[in-house]
Amino acid sequence: MPYRFIMVIGLALLPTTMAGCANQEAFTAADYAKCQQLGFTPGTQHYDTCLSNVQQQRTAGITAPEPLRDQS
């Protein structure tokens, strides 16, 4: 009996767990895209720094800076 209860609870929580993974993947992809929009090249130290800053800002609830626009 307790085994069946544990299985039911586990199966009930599975979609919630899977949804959390999907959201994390979407956040990570958005972080990568944001640094590329800002003009950083993947694989460089500046890109890695940008990625770290964007992730920290996202987890702190602060929005990332907007891409630089041509002023001319």
Measure the CA–CA gap between 29 and 44, rounded to whole angstroms.
17
- DSSP 8-state secondary structure symbol assigned to residue 71: -
- 16 vs 1: CA distance, rounded Å: 24
Full pLDDT tens readout for the chain, 72 residues:
565 655 555 555 545 444 455 588 888 899 999 999 999 999 999 999 999 999 888 888 766 566 666 655
Q: Is the pTM of this model over 0.95?
A: no
Q: Reduce the DSSP state of residue 48 to 3 states and report it.
A: helix
Contacts of 34 (CB under 8 A, 6+ apart): 50, 54, 64
- pLDDT at position 18 is 45
Domain residue limits, the chain: 2-60
